[in-house]
Amino acid sequence: MSPALGDRLSFLGDRLRRDVPVGPLTTYRVGGPARWFLEVVDGEELAAVAAALAGTAPEVLVVGRGSNLLVADAGFDGLVLQLGESFASVDMAPTPGPDGAVVVRAGGAAALPVVARRTVEAGLTGFEWAVGVPGSVGGAVRMNAGGHGADMAASLMTVRLVDLATGEDVEVMATDLALSYRSSSVAPTQVVVRADLALQPGDRETGAATLSEIVRWRREHQPGGQNAGSVFTNPADDSAGRLVDTAGCRGLRMGSAEVSTKHANFIQADAGGSADDVFALMVEVARRVREHHGVVLHPETRMVGFPEFGAVLDGGAAS
């Protein structure tokens, strides 16, 4: 990343920070520093940043709650941008949605469990699944996050996007986002400012019971600690966790990273550990699954600063 980026954003003064560790911004809690870091305070500042960067093809990493992110130990030689608290609101929109739905407008920085609980408290149903996903609304839109038989695509209506590469600030229909299993067309330079969700009227007690059951199930079946949830996407008609387990990888360790003994599609990072160890273990697990089952696993985790995963799996250098 050219030092010119610092010049373009010099109006931010000391709010534009240098060499900020990215690991603490992720649930893996490992990884190197960002050359530049900015927590955006409000929409006005975001617009100013977008205007300053427009036309430069900036190397930008937008970080929400870091629950699906692994940054290499070498760090990120660009701008890490994170939305501040003013982007974490959850409000009921005054305009009704289609078919009697209630529209909930959630900021891009809003935590998914918070949105799930607030919508249930408001007597709405359709977003309970998100109570067990420790991500942000923006990240969930970008990867079409989901669980327990639902995903963002099921209720997402519209999204407001600010593109740091073009300066555009647009509202996009969910149908135009190419939402599919754990993916969308949201570009790395696009910031999800807010999302409108169409939810149906429901029963508060039933919703609260559903939330409790999801939380109980997650605690019973998934590990805590330093991980980023499911490592690999599920192949068609199969489970990545089953494939990893039956390939003999449960408990497999490489350096400071270990395949969880509680759920084989999770990798745990040791405190003070290495992101590169996590990546190396991911490659080794995928290699053993391919060798044992003939199935190629694809990472669900967003990886930054690493070589292309498939190339390494096929025999390229891991670092």
Q: Is 300 a catalytic residue?
A: yes
**Phi, psi dihedrals of residue 109, rounded to the nearest 5°:** -90, 0
Q: Which residues of 81-105 are buried (b: 16+ CB within 10 A; e: fewer)?
A: bbbeeebbebeeeeeebeeebbbbb
**Phi, psi dihedrals of residue 119, rounded to the nearest 5°:** -70, -35
Q: Is 160 a catalytic residue?
A: no
Task: Considering the candidates 230, 256, 260, 274, report the single residue annotated as catalytic.
Answer: 230
Task: Considering the candidates 35, 142, 182, 287, report the single residue annotated as catalytic.
Answer: 182
Q: Which residues lie below 8 Å from residue 285, measured CB to CB, with a gap of 6+?
A: 231, 232, 244, 247, 249, 252, 259, 267, 297
Per-residue DSSP letters for 20-70? EESGGGSSS----EEEEEEEE-SHHHHHHHHHHHTTS---EEE-SS-TTEE
Task: Considering the candidates 8, 65, 250, 300, report the single residue annotated as catalytic.
Answer: 300
d(C-alpha 151, C-alpha 80), whole Å: 26
Nearest Cα to Cα of residue 139 among 94, 88, 173: 88
Q: Is 258 a catalytic residue?
A: no
- The residues carrying an active-site annotation are 182, 230, 300
